[in-house]
Amino acid sequence: MKQILDFFNHPLLKWSMGFGLLAGLLCFTYFLGLYFLNITPLGNHKVLDFGIHIIAMAAAVWYYRRRVGNGLLHLWEALSICYVVNTVGAIITGWLIYFFIEYIDPSVFTQYLDDMRRLIVSTKGQLVKELGKAKYESLLRGVDQIRPADLITDELSKKTVLAVLPVLIISLLLRRQDYSIQNRS
């Protein structure tokens, strides 16, 4: 058990998970803000919470480079930090939203499903033209098969795909290596 705890005590993982937890809590706070403003919190406005992830990833990499790396940071460290922050943040957000929908206000989820159905029905002509009638019907039936627990995996998969480019940019911009070792002969 001590080995497991020591593994999670490594600075790279410890700080990344801490920043990921912070990102997840802030994203859930954003979700609650949308909810209390009577804006559909699972709709198109929710995607803006990825900005919180970007800020948390950049802050975690900067903090790690400054405090742990003494001003130095390898690319692999930056990539690892960003992906851990993003993954932990998405998992925390997904679970908190799931618990909110499951135990506090299930109407948020039913409204989300209704909005999805309305969108599919409103674009029926275009969807039938592009996908075909059978695929359109399948898409419409698929909305009824979505469960609240699917929001957790949906959150994680979307944030993982969205993170690819920002992670690379943050990692490349904030890395700093000591090249003086290579110049010594």
Distance of CA 5 to the CA centre of its chain: 25
Among 63, 70, 76, residue whose Cα is nearest residue 17: 63
Answer with the residue of higher pLDDT: 144 or 8: 144
Q: Is the pLDDT of residue 70 over 70?
A: yes
pLDDT of amino acid 102: 95
pLDDT of amino acid 125: 82
List pLDDT tens digits, range 17-39.
999 999 999 999 999 999 999 99
Per-residue HEC secondary structure of 8-61 comes to HCCHHHHHHHHHHHHHHHHHHHHHHHHHHCCCCCCCHHHHHHHHHHHHHHHHHH
